[in-house]
Structure 1
Amino acid sequence: MTEQNQLSAATLARLGKDVQRPAYDRNQMNTGIVHLGIGAFHRAHQAVYTDAVLASGDNRWGILGVSLRSADTRDALQPQDGLYTVAVRDGSGDRFSVIGSITSVLVAPENPQAVLSAMVEPSVKIISLTVTEKGYCYAPATASLDESHPDIVHDLAHPAAPRSAIGFIVEALARRRENGTEPFTLLSCDNLPANGETLKRVVLRFAELRDPDLATFIRESVAFPSTMVDRIVPATTDTDRTIVERATGLRDAWPIMTEPFTQWVVEDHFPSGRPAWEKVGVTFVEDVDAFELMKLRLLNGSHSTLAYLGYLAGHETVSDVMQAEGFSAFIEAMMDEEITPTLPPLSGFDLSSYKAQLRERFRNPALRHRTWQIAMDGSQKLPQRLLNTIRKRIEQGKPFKRLALGVAGWMRYATGTDERGQPIDVRDPLANDFRERTHGKTSAADLLDAYLGMQQIFGKDLADNDEFRRAVGGALEQLLRDGAAVTVAKAGRD
C-alpha cells in the first residue's frame, strides 16, 4: 500500500465525487466520548450518528476509541488518521461515506495508563461501550458480576493497571472523584437486557468489592442510561476492501459493510451533557425496555437460531439460509407464534411491519453476513436471545418447540463437529468447557445433561424443568437423527 492511494486526511480530496466525506474541520474536534470496544458495530452505528452531529457544527463530541484486546483496529486506522469508509449495501446498489468522528485509537494492553488518562479528561462526558456480552465479565444466567473471572480477579488486585472494561471504568471514576472532576455518563450499546441496569449492577458490585465508599459515590453520581441498538454489520473481508477501493479510488484497510436500516433508542439521562443525537435520527425515550426486549427476542433470537441451524445445514450466510427450504416459514412462525406473545405492548408501533422488515433484512444478499460470525459467543448470548423468551413461554403455559430447536441447534453446533464430521471452529469463552463436557457423548440425552449442567448459561430453573428438557432434548435428538436441513424443512411445514 502506498501513501498516494491510501485513505487519509491528505488524500480525502481524491475520493470519488459520489463518496460523502466529513463536512467539518476535523482539526477543531475535541474528544467528548471515550468508546470501549472500537469494533465494526460501533463504527457502523454510534460513530456514524456522532459524525452527523459533528457535521452540524458541534465539535465537542469527537470519539477516542479503545481496543481492550487487539491492536488490529488501531493499526488499520492510525495510518488513515482515524478515517474509514462505510458502505451501505442492498439490492439497489452501494452507497459510500467516509466517517471522521474517531479522533484516535488506543490499545489498552499496550498502555493502560494512557486509556485511564483519556477517561479522566474533563472534556470527556460519556464513556460508551460495545464490548459484546462477554466483555461485561458477568454470569449470563444471573446478569451479575462473575467474581471469579480472571480479569476481575486481576483488576481487584491491581486496580491501577486494569484489564477489563469494568476495571477501567471504576478506576477512572475513582480518579475523577479524587480530582474533583464531574463523573461521566456510562452508555452501554451492547445486546443485553436492560443493558444500562446490567452495566450498573456489575460496576457497583466491582466497586463494592474494591471500596464501599467508591461504590456509594458511583451509585449516587453516575448515570447508566439503557439503549437499544440495531444494525446488521458483517465482518469485513478482502473482497469488501476491493469493492470499496474500486468505488472510492482509495484503499481502506478496514472499511465497514452494512445495511441501510439503522436504529438507536436511548433513555435520556445524561447529567453531564450529550450530543444532539435526536437531530440525526436517534429516538430518546423515558423507558427503553420494551424496544430492547422486542429487538433482543425478535431480531437477535431469530438471527442466532438462523445462524446455528443454517450453519449445520451447510449455509455460509444468513441470506443463503433464508432461501433454503423451510427456513423462512420456520422463522416467521417462531416470531409470530412464540416470540410476539412474550413482548410487552408498544403503543403506536407496527409490530407486524417490523417483523416483515426483519425478514427482508435477513434476505439482503448484498451483506454476506456469515452464520459462523453470528454463532460466536453463544454461551453469552443464549440467555437473553432465546432462554428468557422460553422462560416467559413456560410461565404462560405455552409451547416453544421452535425456540427449543434454536437452543438444540446451539448445542449441536457447540459440540464442535458438523453434520459431515468436519470440525467447527467454535469461538466462545466456554469452548474448552464444552469440549470437556461433551467428549465421547453422542446421544441427545447425554449431550443435554452435559449442557444443562452449565448453570451459568441455563440457571437451575431450566435445568430442573421437565418441559424444557423434553422440548430441547426432543429437538436435539431430531437434529442428530435427521440433520438441520430436514428438521427445519419439516418444522417449516408444520
Structure 2
Amino acid sequence: MESYKLNSGNLSKIADRVAVPAYDRTDVRAGIVHVGIGGFHRAHQAYYTDQLLHDSANKDWGICGIALLDYDQKIYNTLKNQDGLYTLIVKELDGTLTKNVIGSIVEYLFAPENPSAVIEKMANEEVKIISLTITEGGYNYNETTGAFNFENPLIQHDLNNPNAPKTIFGYLTQAFKLRKERGLLGCTVQSCDNVQGNGHVAEKMLLSYVKAAEPELVSWIEANVSFPNSMVDRITPATSPTDIAHLKETSGIDDAWPVVCEPFNQWVIEDNFMAGRPAWENVGAQFVSDVVPYEKMKLSLLNAGHSVLGILGALNGYSTIDEAVGDKAIRTFLKLYMDCEVTPVLGDLEGVDLKRYKQSLIERFGNVYIKDQIDRICSESSAKLPIFILPTVYAQLKEKGSIKLAAFVIAAWAIYSLGLDEKGNSLVIKDVLSDVLREKAIKAKNEPKQFLTVEAVFGNLQNSATFVEGYSKSYRDILKYGVVKCVVELNSEILDKTV
C-alpha cells in the first residue's frame, strides 16, 4: 500500500482509507486557544471540537494550539509539519481500530520561540475561550495550604520578565492586560485538567499571581473572565512506535504522532462562559450547573483506581495497567477499595448508576489493546495522590470509617519510591519530588512514619494516629511478606467483614 505524509495536501488521497475532516479547514477561525497540546487534549477536547466543525455554523470555533514548554517542541514541530492534522486511533474492546483524522487544530504556536505572538493571540478579540491541559502540577499551588507557590523559579522569572513569560500565569496576565488596555471584551479560561474544582483553582491561582504582578488588573479579570469547572475522561496512553508503524502499514498514513485512546469519552462542563461557547452538547458533552459530584466521582474512582493499579502493579513487576487489573488479587483489592472506602464518602450522585460506573472502570482498565504504561500512570504521583486518594482518606477519618486499603496504597508507594520492584528490577520514577521521596523512603525503612513527613504531599496526616497505625503496619508487612501476599490477606480480611 502506498503511504502518504499526513498533511492538508494529501487528505483527498487517504479519504477512502480513514475518516477525514469533511469541512473546509481554511474557512475555520480559531475562537479557542488551547495550552497543552498533548495526547489527552487531542483525544478529547480537540476530538469533540472536530466533530462540531462538521456543521458549518461552528466555523468560528477552531483551535490554536499552544506548545508552552521547551520540551513541547517535538509536538509543535509535528503539528506544524502536518498542518495541524493528526490521526486519532480508538482501540475498541474487541481489538478493532477506529481511525479518524482530526482537523480542529488550525493554528499552532511554540511559546518559547515567540512569547509575544502567544500573548497577542490570547488577547485577540476573536478568541473567546483559553483552555488548558497543563497537568495537575501546572497549577503551581501548595497541596497542603492551597496557596500559590511564589518560590517556583519560573514564577520568579515571569514576575521579573513580564513580556517573556514561561508559565501560563505570566501569559494570561499579559494577554488580559492587553485586552483591558484595548477596551476588548474578556473571555473564558476553561481548565480541562484532573483537579477537583479545576475552574475555581485556575481562578484562585491566576488572581494570586496577578495581585503580585499587575494588581490593577485584578478587578478587570473578576468582572470580565469566567472560570467554569469541568470533568474530563478518556484513557489516553502514550503513543508507541508500534502504533505509528501499524497505522502506516494498515492505512498508508505516515503520521509522526498519532494519538491512541479508548472508546469511552466523557466531558461534563459547568455552563459558565463569558463570551459564548461551542455547542459541544450536540456532540456528546454534558452541560450542568454543578460539576462537583461528577468530578469527585471520577477523581476518586477512575484516577485513584489508576494510581492503585499502577503502584501495586509496579511493585509486582507489571508494565501495563491491563496486566495489573488482570491479576485477580489486585483487581479484587481495587474493587474493595472503591466499594468500601470511596463509595461511602461520595455523597449524592443523582442520575448516576454508581455500580455500573465502577464495573465499567474495571472493563476499561482491562482493555488489553490500550497497553497504558504503568510508569506513565505512576509519574508525578506526588501531585496526583493528594488529589485522587487523600481526600478519601480525610473524609473517612472524619467519619471514623475505614482507611486500611488507602493506607496500604500509600505504604506501597513509599516502598515504590525506593526505586525497585519486588523482583529487584529498577523502577522508572518520574516525579518532581523524586529525590525527596527517595530520601524519606530510605528513612522509612527504620521508621515508616518518616515518609509521611513530606509535608508538600501529606500535610499534617502524620498527626493522625489512626492513619499512621494502619500505614505503618502495611509498610512493615509489605517489606516482610511482599505486596502480593499482603494484598491477598488484606482482601480476605475485608471480605470476611463484609459477608
Place the TM-score, normalised by the shorter chain, in its bin.
over 0.9
Quick one: structure 1 residues 426 and 137, their matched pair in 2 at CA, closer, same or farther if it must change by over 3 Å?
same
The counterpart of 1:204, out of the listed 204, 207, 216, is 207
Cα distance in 2 between the residues matched to 1:143 and 1:121: 32
Letter in 2 for 1:55: H
Which shows bigger deviation, 208-217 or 35-44? 208-217
The counterpart of 2:80, out of the listed 78, 81, 104, is 78
Cα distance in 1 between the residues matched to 2:328 and 2:486: 10
- Indicate if the aligned counterparts of 1:16 and 1:248 stay in contact, CA closer than 8 A: no
TM-score (norm 2): 0.95
Structure 1 residue 318, shift from structure 2 partner: 0.8
Cα distance in 2 between the residues matched to 1:341 and 1:447: 28
Alignment of structure 1 residues 129-208 onto 2, 5 Å: 129-208=132-211
Structure 1 residues 214-246: Cα deviation after superposition (integer angstroms, max 9, x where no partner): 122212221000000000000000001112222
Structure 1 residues 118-170: Cα deviation after superposition (integer angstroms, max 9, x where no partner): 11111111010001011111112233311111111111122221111121112
Cα distance in 1 between the residues matched to 2:130 and 2:105: 14
**Could you say which residue in structure 1 is the equivalent of 2:483?**
484
Quick one: structure 1 residues 315 and 16, their matched pair in 2 at CA, closer, same or farther if it must change by over 3 Å?
farther
**Could you say which residue in structure 2 is the equivalent of 1:46?**
45
- Are residue 432 (structure 1) and residue 435 (structure 2) matched? yes
The counterpart of 2:354, out of the listed 338, 351, 354, is 351
Aligned length: 488
SS in structure 2 at match of 1:296: helix
SS in structure 1 at match of 2:100: strand
**Could you say which residue in structure 2 is the equivalent of 1:470?**
469
Structure 1 residues 243-300: Cα deviation after superposition (integer angstroms, max 9, x where no partner): 2222321111101111110000000011201111011100000010000000000100
**Could you say which residue in structure 1 is the equivalent of 2:447?**
446
Q: What is the aligned-residue RMSD (CA, Å)?
A: 1.5
Letter in 2 for 1:346: L
- Are residue 254 (structure 1) and residue 224 (structure 2) matched? no
- Are residue 297 (structure 1) and residue 300 (structure 2) matched? yes
SS in structure 2 at match of 1:86: strand
The counterpart of 1:237, out of the listed 215, 227, 240, is 240
Structure 1 residue 489, shift from structure 2 partner: 2.7
Structure 1: give runs of 5+ residues left out of the alignment: none
Structure 1 residue 18, shift from structure 2 partner: 4.7
- Indicate if the aligned counterparts of 2:187 and 2:224 stay in contact, CA closer than 8 A: no
- Indicate if the aligned counterparts of 1:325 and 1:489 stay in contact, CA closer than 8 A: no
Cα distance in 2 between the residues matched to 1:482 and 1:180: 67
- Are residue 417 (structure 1) and residue 417 (structure 2) matched? no
- Indicate if the aligned counterparts of 1:264 and 1:283 stay in contact, CA closer than 8 A: yes
Letter in 2 for 1:448: K
**Could you say which residue in structure 1 is the equivalent of 2:282?**
279
Cα distance in 2 between the residues matched to 1:41 and 1:143: 26
Structure 1 residue 442, shift from structure 2 partner: 5.9
Cα distance in 2 between the residues matched to 1:370 and 1:485: 20
- Indicate if the aligned counterparts of 1:134 and 1:429 stay in contact, CA closer than 8 A: no
Letter in 2 for 1:458: F
Percentage of identical aligned residues? 39
Cα distance in 2 between the residues matched to 1:438 and 1:248: 48
SS in structure 2 at match of 1:142: coil
**Could you say which residue in structure 2 is the equivalent of 1:105?**
108
- Are residue 314 (structure 1) and residue 317 (structure 2) matched? yes
Cα distance in 2 between the residues matched to 1:473 and 1:215: 46
Cα distance in 2 between the residues matched to 1:26 and 1:195: 31
Structure 1 residues 92-124: Cα deviation after superposition (integer angstroms, max 9, x where no partner): 211100000011322212221111111111111
Which shows bigger deviation, 282-291 or 169-178? 169-178
Structure 1 residue 179, shift from structure 2 partner: 1.4
Cα distance in 1 between the residues matched to 2:287 and 2:363: 26
Structure 1 residue 453, shift from structure 2 partner: 1.9
**Could you say which residue in structure 2 is the equivalent of 1:118?**
121
Alignment of structure 1 residues 334-349 onto 2, 5 Å: 334-349=337-352
Cα distance in 2 between the residues matched to 1:155 and 1:149: 10
- Indicate if the aligned counterparts of 1:305 and 1:409 stay in contact, CA closer than 8 A: no
Letter in 1 for 2:88: V
Structure 1 residue 447, shift from structure 2 partner: 4.5
- Indicate if the aligned counterparts of 1:386 and 1:407 stay in contact, CA closer than 8 A: no
The counterpart of 1:373, out of the listed 372, 376, 380, is 376
Structure 1 residue 6, shift from structure 2 partner: 1.0
Cα distance in 2 between the residues matched to 1:410 and 1:34: 37
TM-score (norm 1): 0.96
- Indicate if the aligned counterparts of 2:89 and 2:260 stay in contact, CA closer than 8 A: yes
Cα distance in 2 between the residues matched to 1:44 and 1:198: 24
- Are residue 24 (structure 1) and residue 27 (structure 2) matched? no
Structure 2: give runs of 5+ residues left out of the alignment: 494-499
Structure 1 residue 19, shift from structure 2 partner: 1.3
- Indicate if the aligned counterparts of 1:14 and 1:249 stay in contact, CA closer than 8 A: no
Structure 1 residue 416, shift from structure 2 partner: 2.2
Letter in 2 for 1:397: K
Quick one: structure 1 residues 486 and 15, their matched pair in 2 at CA, closer, same or farther if it must change by over 3 Å?
farther
